[in-house]
Structure 1
Amino acid sequence: MKTILAAYSGALKGTGYSILSSLQDLPSPPWPALRSKMEKHLQVIAVLQWVISFLTMGGRRSSWVRNWTVWTYFRDYFPIRLIKTHNLLPSRNYIFGYHPHGIFSFGAFCNFGTEATGFSKKFPGIKPSLATLAGNFRMPILRDYLMSGGICPVTRNSIDYLLSQNGTGNAVVIVVGGAAESLDCAPGMNSVTLNNRKGFVRLALQQGSDLVPVYSFGENNVYKQVIFEEGTWCRLAQKRLQKILGFAPCLFHGCGLFSDSWGMVPYNKPITTIVGEPITVPKVEEPTRDMVELYHAMYIKSLRSLFDKYKTRFGLKESDILHIQ
């Protein structure tokens, strides 16, 4: 029991040891004499993995994991690029709005969950934290894997901590369109779900964190998807399951592992992520609806401008427009 509590205490202090690592130190009692004691140990571990507080503190970032060589192979498969347009100040905190979601948000993970595209060199003094579904952090092995990349749960507590109690130089990356947006992704489509997504703007105002629009050209091109029309029973079923499961059950495919047949492997289409100009946001603890609407409109205008400025450089035509719904 002391071993378990030591691991728990160490984790809270950020020493880099997880509760899972304490499993190797658990005693090996004679069977079955100390069965109940062993079961008690396992029960404590099971409870702690739910209540441990460092999940709300942005996880346990590991520079070693973020710089694994495997991520360069991941990057080069598509390939994925990160383009900086403006400097970011380490004295400020930021909320990055990432668009579009795509099927798996490969660009978001590669650029902000690893160092494969050189985020820290491009933005010195800024620590990115990619926010993802909180449910992913309830699976022990996956949880540690995600936290080592600086990935955090997309929960109010986690984001509040990063933007208010973790100093400055933090950039929380939120895939604003979420699961709903993934239902509308397909090659050649430039559509984002944003008109009614205003919570991230309110949060930015409450924390005084600057808003940064981010657009990934090519994110929608790596899988083909059957898109059902609004109002059809298939679309309604997808939305219903989305509410139950927390993610959208998309009907998609890529290529096969060793051939051009259908499979789960994404097509190797280039993804280029553009980090736009930050929008300075004041700190207002109780922002009014009009204030939220104002900064939301400013954000949409900035995102459109970013898309229009770079679209012809990455395979789109001048006549292509960004559809915002």
Structure 2
Amino acid sequence: MVKFAPLKIPLERRLQTAAVLQWVFSFLALAQCCLVLFIALLFTRFWLISVLYATWWFLDIDTPSKGGRPHRLLRQSIVWRYFKDYFPITLVKTADLDPRQNYVLAFHPHGVLIAGAFANFCTEATGFPDLFPGMSPYLLMLPLWFRVPFFRDYILAGGLIPSDRDSASYLLRKKDGGNVVVIAIGGAPESLDARPGAYTLLLKNRKGFIKLAIQHGTPLVPAFSFGENEVFDQVSNPKGTWLRRAQEKLQKIMGVALPLFHARGVFQYSFGLMPYRKPIFTVVGKPLKVEMKSNPSPEEIDELHKKYIEHLCQLFEEHKTKYGVPEDVHLTFI
């Protein structure tokens, strides 16, 4: 039985739904549409647009790896306030960040569409500049998307940069500080385990961010997004099943994961690709001091990795009951 949305819904809620709808579209299809548009224009009388853009792209090719091009006009758009209020999404501060330093902020969990990280670090809707004055967040994203015409400029304006070592190092090397490099540690593979009630993190063998922090002497900041996995359901895909094997193989080939997620629709609540209206609380923990070493040994990386996991678990245990996580639930790592 399909449960339809009532006809009389406040305008505020309709605007929230519209804001999230365009975000889902942007996440799932905007890049493909931009690529098709770029190619299609070449075969019309407007071919010059694509040619001029290609010239601009060539001249601007290093920008993503040189700190990007965040634009406050996009980050402060009223659309993101409606987006934030749909769930709603809240950014929770537990400690100050020194604007004279740079930081590596490790975000957990990835979720299906990483809604919490986007709202908190690619927009100003949840108040990042007020909570952390003097700090500028940069969320890492697969380099693949920065090769898509038009789309690359859109994500650059949101403060996204490629998820490669050079891009992160460029910001962490800046001596005047004030940069927060945000890394969703589990990445796309972790999204295959994102479902309500899941607290499994892909972290056991994820040590690149640890080495990056040591090489730059950059403090590590854990952030856990309570509710991130609650906003979408996912088709059952336990490890070892044909579906999971197919998803993992496609992920290795394409570089992006393809979770078969579902939730609600725009005009009905029974099925669709719109997320559920479930609250998300992104708690930013205290910085973990890191001693700088240009060439850390595997033992030094393992030691800091272990210390980081303890730091993250402490953050989770301290806050979980405030945000509806049962007392007997703990983080597990794979």
Pick the structure with greater CA Rg: 1
**Structure-2 residue corresponding to 1:48:** 58
Find out whether 1:178 has 2:187 as its counterpart.
yes
Distance 2:96 2:203 in 1: 25
**Structure-2 residue corresponding to 1:226:** 235
Secondary structure of 2:183 counterpart: strand
Q: How big is the shift at 1:41? A: 4.7
Correspondence list, 1:54-69, <5 A: 54-69=63-78
**Structure-1 residue corresponding to 2:218:** 209
* Stretches of 4+ aligned residues off by more than 6 angstroms: none
Closer, same or farther: CA 295–258 of 1 in aligned 2, 3 Å: same
Closer, same or farther: CA 179–86 of 1 in aligned 2, 3 Å: same
Q: CA RMSD in A?
A: 2.0
Q: For the Cα contact (< 8 Å) 1:93–1:163, is it kept in 2?
A: yes
* Equivalent position to 1:151, from 156, 160, 181: 160
Give the letter for the 1:48 counterpart.
F
Closer, same or farther: CA 52–76 of 1 in aligned 2, 3 Å: same
Q: How big is the shift at 1:139? A: 1.7
| Unpaired segments ≥5 residues, structure 1 | 1-19, 21-30
Q: How big is the shift at 1:261? A: 2.4
Q: How big is the shift at 1:89? A: 0.5
Q: How big is the shift at 1:42? A: 4.7
Secondary structure of 1:293 counterpart: helix
**Structure-2 residue corresponding to 1:98:** 107
Q: For the Cα contact (< 8 Å) 1:58–1:153, is it kept in 2?
A: no
Find out whether 1:311 has 2:320 as its counterpart.
yes
* Equivalent position to 2:274, from 242, 265, 287: 265
**Structure-2 residue corresponding to 1:190:** 199
Closer, same or farther: CA 40–55 of 1 in aligned 2, 3 Å: closer
Give the letter for the 1:265 counterpart.
M
C-alpha distance after superposition, 1:173-219 (max 9, x if no partner): 00000111111110111111000000000000001111000000000
Secondary structure of 1:196 counterpart: coil
Closer, same or farther: CA 64–304 of 1 in aligned 2, 3 Å: same
- Higher RCO (CA-CA < 8 Å; seq separation 6+): 2
**How much identity, in percent, do the aligned residues show?**
46
| Unpaired segments ≥5 residues, structure 2 | 1-33, 35-44
Give the letter for the 2:113 counterpart.
F
Secondary structure of 1:296 counterpart: helix
Distance 2:100 2:290 in 1: 14
Find out whether 1:302 has 2:311 as its counterpart.
yes
Distance 2:203 2:265 in 1: 33
* Equivalent position to 2:120, from 111, 117, 123: 111
| TM-score calculated relative to the size of structure 1 | 0.85
Q: How big is the shift at 1:140? A: 2.3
**Structure-1 residue corresponding to 2:290:** 281
Distance 1:54 1:44 in 2: 15
Secondary structure of 1:283 counterpart: coil
**Structure-2 residue corresponding to 1:161:** 170
Closer, same or farther: CA 260–295 of 1 in aligned 2, 3 Å: same
Closer, same or farther: CA 255–166 of 1 in aligned 2, 3 Å: farther
